[in-house]
Structures are given as structure tokens and as C-alpha cells.
Structure 1
Amino acid sequence: MIDIESIYESFLQQESEKIQLRYKGVEDWFGASSAGQCYRKQWYRANKYEPTPPDKRVNRLLRLGTIVHSDFEKAVSMFSEVVTGLPQQPQWITEHQIRLPVLKVVGHLDIALIDHEESKAYLWDIKTVHSFKWKKQFGHMKNRDPNPSVNYELQLGTYAMGLANDYEVDDVEMNLIWYNKDTSSLKTKRINDNFVDEAMIYWTDLIESLEDIIEPEELKPGITPGVPVQEWECRYCQFAKHCDSPFKR
């Protein structure tokens, strides 16, 4: 009998390899999507330590996110084609690579709109989440996370820096589009402009902190600032097999 599941897994592996090709030549740079993460994790990645690959279920979940992102990008491209040629139309861009050479950061933003006349850009990043994460973000106040991670916001702030550099705009409005994978509910949330500065602080401090590190053991979990940024990171870290963090249990 033909094993369709194995065929699909092979397809997902090939798609993952295609994505990695986008980072050819900047393999030792930091990824914008890792903004806000543990400094030791960043050190492992930058020094090419072998991560634990995601299991099959996680690969399928990641693929769902990719499909949703692709649909949004296609929709925006279709809309931009309709309005192209009309007078004074802003410029739509999708899946745009940003590079910040001084910080050695690279990433791909989802959707942006550039208003050259106003010297302003609008930025949207899509996040697909399960219902538990959705409830922590948008549920009743008693169910919301009192100390939420701001990694998504720092990621957007990083994209905003790159977008401002690439298109020479003075202002970037940032938005997160939340997509509930269980219910297909959608919510758009405006992100505070301060996260551009916060992203710069994170990357600058990360680079300074890792500059003279020779061995990962110099970055002590629970002692060295930023190692980890949040304790729960260790339970999901793909470099846990290399690390002696007490928080990964």
C-alpha cells in the first residue's frame, strides 16, 4: 500500500530546504524571527550547533502557517494588481527580505504598504496560533497572560527598521494579524511604536553580550542576563541537548 503520509513528509522536507536557500550567504546572521529569544540559544545557532529537528506533527503545523501566509500574500498581490496604474497609489510589497548588516540580522516580512508621498509605511505580520494562545491574548481578562512574551512585537520592530532603511520612510505603523487555527477567527492588533527602539536594544545588547564568548558554558542559565529571557523557552528549545539549563525539565 502506498504510504501517503510518508510522501507528504518528504514534500515538507523539500519545502523546508527551499526556505533555507533564501538565507544562502548569511547563514551566520541572526534571524529576525528570533528577536527576544535566549542569548545562549542565539549563540548555538550562530556557531552552527546541530539543532534537534522538529517532529512530523510540528512540521505539519508549520506548513499550515506557511499556507495561511501564502494566501494573505496572494490576496494582497491580487489587490495591488487591481489598483496599479491608478494615480498616487501607494506601493504594496509582500515577502520582502530585510537585512540589517550592522546587526547581522536577516528576515522576511509578510506584507507592507509604502506611501512615498507621506514618507510612511504600514507593516503587517501574520501569526497563526492555537486556541489556548488566542485565549491568552484575547480572552476574558482573567484568562489573559499577565506577563506575555513580546517576541512577536520585537520581530515586527526589527522588520520596521529594515523597511525604513530600504524605502527611506520616516514612520512605520506596525500591525499583528492573529489567525486562530482552530476557529479561523481573525484579529488585527496595532503594535506600539516603541518596539522599534526595543528591538534595537535587544539586538545591540545581544551582539555585545556574545562578542567575547568562546564556550557556551560562559552563558550561565539563570545567572547571565538573557539566558534564558523567559524560563519556558528551555522546554521548547531545539538546542536543549547541548545545554545544561535547569529550566528545560
Structure 2
Amino acid sequence: MSDPPRDAQPSPTPSPPGSESEIEEALRDRVTNRAFNEWYSEQQFQSNILEGKAYFNGPSPSKDPEQHTPSKLLQCHRKATYSRQNAPREGTQPEGLFWFGTEFEEQVVVPFLQSITTPDTYVTNSVWTDTELVRDGTSLRVRGATDPAIVTADADPLLVTEIKTTTSLDHLSAPKPHHRAQLHAYLHALNTEHDHDVMSGLIVYGSRETLNIKAFSVDFDPAFWDDVVTWMDDQTAYEQAGELPPASPERDWECNYCSFKHRCGQADTPYTDIGVDGLLPVFDGYDREKLQQYLDGHADREARLTPTLAHVYPGLSQEYDVYDWSCAACNTTYAWDEVETADDSSDPPYCPCSADDGDITPLSGPEPHQQLGK
């Protein structure tokens, strides 16, 4: 290796903290959920590039109304539309749960299935499915990849599994309906695509606390599958008509954990029945990474930061344009950094002009439906 140029200076090495207790404290402060999620996201990013799947690193394209993903079936119609059409997600995503689910499947379930295979049978990580069906003249398409499956030497599926993780197995007496729907979509597709019958599978739940499992054998039920197809047909009809579907959670408590509860109207913020486009104008509860994915995914429609989010993430204001503050009373606009804001980013500043008239009006960014070009 050649010597560095004479004028090259070595990179400065940060001085370590002065005591072992300070070093320990500095290390402890680095172990956070946010740091873990950022590290894991970067590992996934690099892995996707290494495996030739760099397209996974960008925002997912919006789904055509006729196309459905098995994992989204039989859920709240409105939540499905928000997710399918890339509405901006609220809150911090539980990426640690996603990581655990992936590791549980790859490091625990797959080796276990390999240990119980019979002669001439094998385990594959997944089987790709892509099938079409027609309901009342509407062509529906279901595409997705199964969880691990036991297959023949020719890779023909024999036993399909659907792997889910949960906190506890104590009160789990039957598989959840949308998990049954997901498995039914795979069974229908594989039974259509192969010469032999694929009419049953396993839904396996694993406890994140104990690593115990509970497996449910599921036979293909034509009546239940008909209900799932009806759900797909309804979902397609809503999206073809450009309608925001009704909020239809299976259980009321699901709204508390929904990534779209604020724009839907199921939270303590002044929003309700907001469509799929646009950021909530005075709302600071967007995760930075998900916010960037939204902005990048809608760059062709000139997506920008709201003034509120520019104050929450000032670094992003160097990368993306920012909408102006505006006053509904006098129609005056201000640059996002032109007026003084409150310490709480969720409290908007007041319009200086209206304050002079004794009518104090809060400023706002543009409404969601006014933000994106077509």
C-alpha cells in the first residue's frame, strides 16, 4: 500500500470520555429502540442490494384496484385503501416486531420443518402465487408469496404454512379470520396452478415471550373463501369509484393501533374521513423514515413537507420543499420559518395580521386534498 500524500492529515480520533463510568454511560445511551431500528433498516437496505432486490428499498407502488395482496385481505376496508394507496403512515412502526417475525420464521420454523420432513420431501422458504378470478364480471388478481412450505423434489407444494408471532398464546383458541383469509388465498391459487389438490395448510402462531407455538390445521372452506372474494370485490369497487371506504374494523380496539387513525378520525385530533392523499396540516406524529418514503413516493406529484414537519425535522427542509403557512381569515401566507412557533410543534403559530384586529387565528398548512398535483 502506498504512503498517503505528505499534506494528508489523519482523521481526528474522538477523545474518549474521561472515566470508565462515562464510557459506560455513553455506550448505554447508544442502545435505544430508535438506534436499533435505524441499524436494522440499513442492514435490510444493504441485503436487498446484495440479493438483487434493490427495488424493495423504495416506496411500494400503489396497487391497482383489481389487484390484491393476501396479507391485506378481510381487514378494515378503509385501512386497506390507506395502505394500498400509500397514504402517509402515522406514528413509529413496530419494526422490532417485524424483525422478530422474520427471524422466528427463518431461524426457528424453517429448521423445525426440515427436521420433520419425510423422505423425498423438502422445505422451501416460500412459493410464489399469482392467480385471477372473476366475480360479477370483475376480474380480480391475487398475488403474493407463501411462508415456508413443504414440497416435493420437483418443488410442488404439499403443505403450506402461514407463520405469525404474538405476545401470548394463552387465549388463542382459533386462527384469526384475516389469517385464514390469507392462507385461503394461497390454497386457492396453488390448487388452481397445480395438477394435484392443495386443500389444507397450517397457521402457526409463535409466542414472542416463550417461543412456544400453537398450530392450527385449516381446510379450504368454499363458503369462507366466497366471503373473502366478496370482500375483494367490494374493495375493488370502492377504489374504482374513487371512494373512501367505510371504517370497518373487525374489533373496535384495532383503531387504537392503526397507522392511519388520525386521518380516519379515530383519534383525539381535529381530522376525520381524510382521503389517501396529503399530510395532515398541523400534525407532528410522522416517523422520519416513513415520512421520507411518502415524500419520495410522491415526488412526481410535488409532495412537500408541511410547515409543522419542517420544524420537527429541520434537516429534511434541506432536502425537500416546504409548504407555506397560511391564514384562513386574511389569506396571508408566510414561509415556514418566517413566523415564531410554539415549543410544542403540534400547536400552530397565530397569524400576526389577525392578531392586530383582535381576532387571533391559527396558521395552518394546506389541507391534504390541496397538497399533491395530479
Normalising by structure 1, what TM-score? 0.71
Say whether 1:59 aligns with 2:95: yes
Q: Which residue of 2 aligns with 1:167?
A: 194
| Offset of residue 190 of structure 1 | 0.7
Structure 1 counterpart of 2:105, one-letter code: H
Q: Which has the larger radius of gyration?
A: 2
Taking a change above 3 Å as real, the CA distance of residues 41 and 93 of structure 1, as seen in their structure-2 partners, is same
Instruction: Percent identity, please.
Output: 17
In 2, Cα distance between equivalents of 1:77 and 1:187: 14
Q: Distance in 1 between matches of 2:121 and 2:58?
A: 29
Contact kept, 8 Å, 1:95 with 1:108, in 2: the verdict is yes
Q: 1:95 to 1:114 in 2, by over 3 A?
A: closer
| Partner SS for 1:179 | strand
Q: RMSD between aligned alpha carbons?
A: 3.7
Which segments of 5 or more consecutive residues in structure 2 lack a partner in the other structure?
A: 1-25, 133-138, 270-374
Quickly say closer, same or farther: Cα 1:121–1:196, change in 2 above 3 A: farther
Higher RCO (CA-CA < 8 Å; seq separation 6+): 1
Deviation, structure 1 residue 38: 0.8
* Residue 112, structure 1, aligned to residue 149, structure 2: yes
Per-residue CA deviations over 1:153-194 (Å, capped at 9, x if unaligned) read 111111212322443433321111121221222222111321
* Residue in structure 2 matched with residue 158 of structure 1 by the alignment: 185
Corresponding residue number in structure 2 for 1:121: 158
3-state DSSP class of the match of 1:43? helix
Spell out the pairing of 1:35-114 with structure 2 (5 A cutoff). 35-55=73-93, 58-72=94-108, 74-75=110-111, 89-90=120-121, 92-100=123-131, 102-114=139-151
1:232 corresponds, among 246, 253, 260, to: 253
The aligned residue for residue 10 of structure 1 is: 38
Q: Distance in 1 between matches of 2:161 and 2:152?
A: 14
1:135 to 149, 159, 170: 170
Aligned length: 222
Pair 1:22–1:199, CA change in 2 (3 A): farther
Structure having the larger proportion of residues in strand: 1
User: More helix by proportion, 1 or 2?
Assistant: 1
TM (normalized to structure 2)?
Answer: 0.50
